[in-house]
A and B are shown apart, each in its own frame.
Chain A
């Protein structure tokens, strides 16, 4: 393990920066009227200038992360594998299309950062017809990558402009092959940054690749015991302004995926307390237990209309509850976790500055009692210094 003695770590978030030296960690709210680099230098210039460019490591979730559309031919293999790799590369928004039904999907109007086309083992071919090309013609996207059967790569190349072709993510035992697509997506993040005026100036203070924060947090997890007291299996919740990230121990799911990761990650894109406040409220209103939960917390539904600190707190607590629901059988979602096996729930991100440990544990206890009818109670762990991410920056 590389000694951190000479390294400076910086995390640029959507609300604040975190700057970490071997001896200290500081947080500053961002000033959105300034350029990111100027803002950073004005608040921490002294600290930053002490370090050489090669010893400065930066990660960022500030520009919202990449969005992707995955087109695959089955749920159990092509879509599942590509989604798993994309989430673990730090991608934030993932939509999927099952190719046989492509005519039923509307074409999204937003710009997609990368389209991933996947499907078929190498010994199979002709998985895709004209329909995919006409769909893509209508789509607004920046990059496209093909990770399906090698036999189809030529026809894909002939019909999709600037297509990047990588080795299949499905091998001939129908197992996942993650390296190539994962590297590509991680590097794409870097390239994407280079196109973003704001962030690319950060390369003036670092000579290292800027990584996406969720990717870095995921890499930190095997070392988490050096910062907080947890017992595996655990989950980590990062409830942000726009999205909620969950990292979970792989023995909490029943999946046939063998990768280097000990923890997988996924994102709920409409659960956030600032930018996604409205969709969070809508989700809360459609959950039949929330009424009782609000009562338990001593408030009424009027809280949705308030803009106070108290309202933000309540929303954060609701977000925790809703996220847990999404990962249980109660609401069939992308993943079902063995919630009764969880020993610790770690919270990181802005939420640790707002909620106390008790306030979090109240929600967890309520969830387990009401939804799972269980007395199980994982310990809540607050990453109050918000420094778990620093463990993942070791190169």
Chain B
């Protein structure tokens, strides 16, 4: 199971990124880590080049609000990305917000799994369940 991961935009949160990388590897995923300061297009392109089943974007500082709306539009330009599991985690708003509203909003942006301020291991467990549903073995 392949995962493309990274941090979008101007976040220099490399520690979180590296911990996600190590945690995913520990759970047996093949990880393609684009690092920090990654652009949305690079994420989608990486999925195409690697055949990843999962795209996991980290965003901290609520910065994701700046580009959330562009996700669907950009993704529609790709002919083969419909099946990829889209996951976003981190701190998805500036200041505080109602988790339910936040999750709903990001699901509308096109994310299957939305983890706002959720502990890393819990988030990865959620991913695990989603994968088991999608790819029963």
A and B touch in the complex (CB under 8 A): yes
Q: A residues touching B (Cβ–Cβ < 8 Å)?
A: 73-78, 100, 119-121, 123-125, 170, 172-174
Q: Which residues of the other chain, A, contact B46 by a CB distance below 8 angstroms?
A: 74, 76-77, 174
Q: In the assembled complex, how far is the CB of residue B135 from the closest CB belonging to chain A, in whole angstroms?
A: 17
| Cα distance A73–B78 in the bound complex, in angstroms | 10
Q: Is the CB of A121 within 8 A of B80?
A: no
Q: Is B2 an interface residue (CB 8 A)?
A: yes
Q: Is the CB of A74 within 8 A of B45?
A: yes
Q: Which residues of the other chain, B, contact A124 by a CB distance below 8 angstroms?
A: 49-51
Q: Which residues of the other chain, A, contact B80 by a CB distance below 8 angstroms?
A: 100
| Cα distance A367–B49 in the bound complex, in angstroms | 39
Chain A facing B: main interface SS: loop
Q: Is the CB of B30 within 8 A of A174?
A: no
| Cα distance A172–B39 in the bound complex, in angstroms | 19
| Contact status of A120 and B51, CB under 8 A, knowing A100-B79, A174-B32 | yes
Q: Which residues of the other chain, A, contact B45 by a CB distance below 8 angstroms?
A: 74-77
Chain B facing A: main interface SS: mixed
Q: Is the CB of B2 within 8 A of A120?
A: no
Q: Is B42 an interface residue (CB 8 A)?
A: yes
- Which chain B residues (24-82) contact chain A, with CB distance < 8 Å? 30, 32-34, 39, 41-42, 44-46, 48-51, 78-80
Q: Is the CB of A170 within 8 A of B79?
A: no
Q: Which residues of the other chain, B, contact A125 by a CB distance below 8 angstroms?
A: 51
15 other A-B residue contacts (CB within 8 Å) besides A73-B48, A124-B51, A174-B46:
A73-B49, A74-B48, A74-B49, A75-B41, A76-B39, A76-B46, A77-B49, A100-B79, A120-B50, A121-B32, A121-B49, A123-B2, A124-B50, A125-B51, A174-B50
Which residue on B lies nearest to A148, using beta carbons? B49
Question: Which 8 pairs across A and B sit closest by C-beta, in order of nearness?
Answer: A74-B45, A76-B45, A124-B51, A76-B42, A100-B79, A74-B48, A77-B49, A121-B50
Q: In the assembled complex, how far is the CB of residue B42 from the closest CB belonging to chain A, in whole angstroms?
A: 5
| Cα distance A74–B42 in the bound complex, in angstroms | 9
